[in-house]
Chain A
Amino acid sequence: MKAGIGVRLFACLIALLFVTPTLIVVATSFTSGTMVVFPPNGLSLRWFEEVFADPEWLDAFANSLQVGLLAAVIAMLAGSSLAFAAGRGRGIPPGLVTALAVLPMMVPLVVAGIGFYLVYVTIGISGGVAGLAVAHAVLGLPFVFVNVLAALKGVDRHVEEAARACGASQTRALVRITVPLIAPAALVGGVLAFVSSWDEVVIALFLNTPEFRTLPVVMWGQVRSGIEPSISAVATLVTAVSLVMAGLILLGPVLRRKLRSLWRQQ
């Protein structure tokens, strides 16, 4: 049963609306003029050059990268650990583990921001990579958890039992058999955690200090005092990183198969 032509046209229109705004931002970043206009006045890379010459933007890039990577690693470890407890454990009720693991997804960011701010003020950590990365790891953890839990259900327990029967300890079987099987799912979750950290503003605003600002925080500050093509250029770069990450996830399985078949041919 196919959808009618009218409905299909409507869907295509929405699809166009999905992508147009971002495309326009990208277009405005290549202007050679000083105003954010569409279509851009002439083409140039001057605003990208300006961004790459500005230490504030570069520091922010480096900060965001560090926070995102660290957050992703923490989220992968903690999320996988919880997925094992929820998927196989019997001591702690799996429902409770699942609730704890997915709840951070639903916390309004303003609430999380105030919470982390108050905690860090009390214990005396002010800003910095580790503090923000822990906060972002909590937000990213559900992505890892959901993915690993699904992968865990697909793992054939007989393989592990075979390993145990051959004399491997439980931990050895876990590390050598199960972890490699769930690693791709954990990695997908990790990339999602990275991306959610990469564009998170609210908590980062609560925790920012003069020495430590992430990219979205600097961008937020700039947007509030006026629109400039350099902001469009940063927006373009931010989007490019996000899309590369998306590409990694969506094309990851295909690439892996290709690599494997290449390997076999050799």
Chain B
Amino acid sequence: MKIARLVWGVPALVVTLTATACGGGGAASDGKGSVTYAGYGGSGQQAISQAWLEPFAAANGVKVVQDDPVTYAKVHQMVDAKKVTWDIAQGGVDFGLDDNPRLEDIDCAVVACDEFAGGPFELKKQGVPFFVFSIVLAYNTEKFPTPPTSFADYFDTKKFPGKRAIDGGNGMQGILEAALLAGGTPRDQLYPLDVEKALKLIEPVKQDFIVFKDASECINLVSSGEAVMGNCYNGRVEIAKNEGRPIDNIWSQQIYYCDYLFVPKGAPNKDNAMKLIAYIAANANNGRLTDYIPYGPANPKAAATGKYAAGAPTGHVLDGADAPIVPDPGWWTANREQTIERTSLWLSS
């Protein structure tokens, strides 16, 4: 039966051609329509799908189409070309969620906007925060008798010899902040970020960096021992740990993030998009992600009760010097490109 699909592929070609020629490709219409969700793929999107997208589709009879990965470039191009295929995109606050001409405003008549007051991340005019995750200092549990305790240890290759896995794609966001903190800059004076000073502080350990491009590589690098420490997503560390891999993380100075949902301007199924966002953000549903992955709710009125709740970043917010590092969205939105250029060059020189 499965093979039959391949065999049928050839005649289907003719059908597809005809459909394309007629400018087809409309959404499957079974009355309630559809909505396309674009995320980052991998185990994260799988969890989002199980926690929210599939239940929403089952409860409302709306077909949820999924896509990945989100790139901001694709949102730009879709909107500029007026050929928007994504109704909801997942992304960071650095996309600009206040007066972005390429986004729709969030409809607070549908979404319970007022519930986010006093939460860890504020609701934006064009974006709804929907889960909290962090990039943590992960380490290989077989390499050291005493595990590292702070980012200072990450930058100390004498005390903790070995390679460090580092994300090369994001302008070393959070790492620069951690370096400055380790170098003695007070927390309230981090921004505007002194990139050159931070890089100078990291310079001594640069030859020990293994630069990766994809988040899952971090887990493989650290758990295989190729690197002894790395900056990995907390959820992926937890999953790998549960699979029995020799990896764990500390919570001191976790780099604290929140992902937002937003609607590209001209999304074909805007109404369904707002309904799905409202569903995901509702206090009854927002904590459900912890059933599948240790990422915490962004709605302060939602309860995290899933089996992964204990590993969610929201449950490990430490104080003082160990408190989470929250990259400043204003500074990073304004300086993202230059910083990516600068850090990529620095890493390769």
Q: Which residues, 36 to 86 on B, are CB-close (under 8 Å) to A?
A: 36, 38, 41-42, 65-68, 77, 81, 83, 85
Bound-state Cα–Cα, A65 to B16, Å:
13
Number of residues of chain B lying within 8 A (CB) of chain A: 31
Shortest Cβ gap from B2 to chain A (Å): 5
Are A209 and B67 within 8 A (Cβ)? yes
Are B16 and A66 within 8 A (Cβ)? yes
With A128-B16, A128-B20 known as contacts, the answer to whether A210 contacts B9 (CB < 8 A) is no
Residue of A130, A211, A224 near B65 (CB, 8 A) is A211
Bound-state Cα–Cα, A24 to B281, Å:
48
**Residue B184 interfacial (CB < 8 Å):** no
A-B contact count (CB 8 A): 70
**Residue A62 interfacial (CB < 8 Å):** yes
> 1/0 per position for B1-17, CB-CB distance to A under 8 A?
01101101110110011
Q: Which chain B residues border A171 with CB–CB below 8 Å?
A: none
Which A-chain residue is minimally distant from B86 (CB atoms)?
A210
Are B9 and A65 within 8 A (Cβ)? yes
Are B42 and A124 within 8 A (Cβ)? no
SS of A interface (majority): helix
Are B10 and A209 within 8 A (Cβ)? no
Residue of B17, B65, B66, B85 near A129 (CB, 8 A) is B17
Shortest Cβ gap from B18 to chain A (Å): 10
Bound-state Cα–Cα, A59 to B65, Å:
15
**Residue B30 interfacial (CB < 8 Å):** no
Are B13 and A70 within 8 A (Cβ)? yes
Are B20 and A130 within 8 A (Cβ)? yes
Are A130 and B17 within 8 A (Cβ)? yes
Are A131 and B9 within 8 A (Cβ)? no
Shortest Cβ gap from B223 to chain A (Å): 11
> 1/0 per position for B192-235, CB-CB distance to A under 8 A?
00000000000000000000011011001000000000000000
With A66-B13, A70-B17, A225-B214 known as contacts, the answer to whether A126 contacts B25 (CB < 8 A) is yes
Residue of A58, A69, A225 near B13 (CB, 8 A) is A69
Q: Which chain A residues border B12 with CB–CB below 8 Å?
A: 62, 66
Residue of A53, A128, A224 near B214 (CB, 8 A) is A224
**Residue B109 interfacial (CB < 8 Å):** no
SS of B interface (majority): helix
Q: Which chain B residues border A124 with CB–CB below 8 Å?
A: 81, 83
Which A-chain residue is minimally distant from B38 (CB atoms)?
A210
Are B2 and A58 within 8 A (Cβ)? yes
With A126-B83, A226-B216, A226-B220 known as contacts, the answer to whether A62 contacts B9 (CB < 8 A) is yes
Are A210 and B83 within 8 A (Cβ)? no
Q: Which chain A residues border B42 with CB–CB below 8 Å?
A: 225
**Residue B21 interfacial (CB < 8 Å):** yes
Bound-state Cα–Cα, A70 to B2, Å:
23
Which B-chain residue is minimally distant from A65 (CB atoms)?
B9
Shortest Cβ gap from A64 to chain B (Å): 9
Bound-state Cα–Cα, A129 to B77, Å:
21
Bound-state Cα–Cα, A63 to B13, Å:
9
Bound-state Cα–Cα, A125 to B41, Å:
24
> 1/0 per position for A43-85, CB-CB distance to B under 8 A?
0000000001100001101110110011000000000000000
Bound-state Cα–Cα, A65 to B9, Å:
7
> 1/0 per position for A196-232, CB-CB distance to B under 8 A?
0000000000000111000000000100111000000
Are A129 and B41 within 8 A (Cβ)? no
> 1/0 per position for B83-110, CB-CB distance to A under 8 A?
1010000000000000000000000000
Q: Which chain B residues border A63 with CB–CB below 8 Å?
A: 9
Which B-chain residue is minimally distant from A73 (CB atoms)?
B13
Bound-state Cα–Cα, A125 to B81, Å:
11
Q: Which chain A residues border B77 with CB–CB below 8 Å?
A: 121
> 1/0 per position for B267-309, CB-CB distance to A under 8 A?
0000000000000000000000000000000000000000000
Bound-state Cα–Cα, A125 to B17, Å:
12
**Residue A266 interfacial (CB < 8 Å):** no
**Residue A122 interfacial (CB < 8 Å):** yes
Bound-state Cα–Cα, A122 to B8, Å:
32
Shortest Cβ gap from B333 to chain A (Å): 25
Bound-state Cα–Cα, A27 to B201, Å:
47
Which B-chain residue is minimally distant from A67 (CB atoms)?
B13
Q: Which chain A residues border B25 with CB–CB below 8 Å?
A: 126, 128
Are B216 and A52 within 8 A (Cβ)? no
Q: Which chain B residues border A59 with CB–CB below 8 Å?
A: 5
Are B2 and A52 within 8 A (Cβ)? yes
Are A129 and B20 within 8 A (Cβ)? yes
Shortest Cβ gap from A87 to chain B (Å): 31
Bound-state Cα–Cα, A174 to B21, Å:
31
Shortest Cβ-Cβ A-B pairs, 9 listed: A62-B9, A210-B67, A121-B81, A66-B13, A225-B216, A130-B20, A129-B16, A224-B214, A65-B9
11 A-B residue pairings within 8 Å (CB atoms): A52-B2, A62-B12, A70-B17, A129-B16, A129-B20, A130-B17, A130-B20, A131-B20, A224-B213, A225-B214, A226-B217
**Known contacts A66-B13, A224-B214; can you find 17 more A-B pairs with CB under 8 A?**
A62-B6, A62-B9, A65-B10, A70-B13, A121-B77, A121-B83, A125-B20, A126-B85, A128-B16, A129-B20, A131-B20, A209-B67, A210-B36, A210-B85, A224-B213, A225-B42, A226-B216
Q: What is A's interface to B at a CB cutoff of 8 Å?
A: 52-53, 58-59, 61-63, 65-66, 69-70, 121-122, 124-126, 128-131, 209-211, 221, 224-226
